[in-house]
Amino acid sequence: MGTSQRDAESSQTVTRKTKSASQENEKTTPEMVATQEIETAVPEMVATQETETQEMAATPEIATAAPEMVSQEIEKDIKQFDNELKAIEDAFRELIATEDPAKGIFHASEIHENRQQKSIAEVNRQVAVNKRNRLRMEAEPF
């Protein structure tokens, strides 16, 4: 075999490889790649969740003690928000009582800020109540 014949065969092989690679690129879309990545990641995630569940089941005293401690902390937070709401309401009453339209004494901006603080405290309290209820539901379903 001569050098020119080997070069011709070599260039044909390279051309075939290039064509097959470009055909594969045409067949594979970004959606397909993403789907393949998800398909490979999901079994790993399921295996991790199963392992974590088995570990928690192996130590039931830890699994049962944690929600009680968390629940106590949440109850403490709820009481703190209740006290904060009471203080905010007392401040509101004082602002209203000290206004005197005849003398031109108004506390509009302070009252507005007070109402915003009250709304924030109410939302935070409701979040804590929802968290407590969710923990109770998980601990004792139906």
pLDDT for the residue 55 = 52
pLDDT for the residue 1 = 54
What span, in angstroms and rounded, lies between the C-alpha atoms of 139 and 142? Answer: 10
pLDDT by residue for the chain (142 residues), tens digit each? 555 555 555 555 544 544 544 454 456 666 665 556 655 555 555 555 555 555 555 444 444 556 677 889 999 999 999 999 999 999 999 999 999 999 999 999 999 999 999 999 999 999 999 999 998 888 877 6
99 within 8 A of 106, measured Cβ to Cβ: yes
Give DSSP secondary structure letters for 78-124. Answer: HHHHHHHHHHHHHHHHHHHHH-BGGGTB--HHHHHHHHHHHHHHHHH
pLDDT for the residue 59 = 42
70 within 8 A of 128, measured Cβ to Cβ: no
What span, in angstroms and rounded, lies between the C-alpha atoms of 74 and 66? Answer: 12
What span, in angstroms and rounded, lies between the C-alpha atoms of 61 and 59? Answer: 6
pLDDT for the residue 70 = 80
139 within 8 A of 67, measured Cβ to Cβ: yes
| pTM of the predicted protein model | 0.51
Domain ranges of the chain: 1-58, 60-142
Structure tokens at 90: 């007392």
pLDDT for the residue 136 = 87
CA distances for 5 relative to 13, 16, 18, 26, 54, angstroms: 13, 17, 20, 32, 66
108 within 8 A of 51, measured Cβ to Cβ: no
What span, in angstroms and rounded, lies between the C-alpha atoms of 132 and 69? Answer: 11
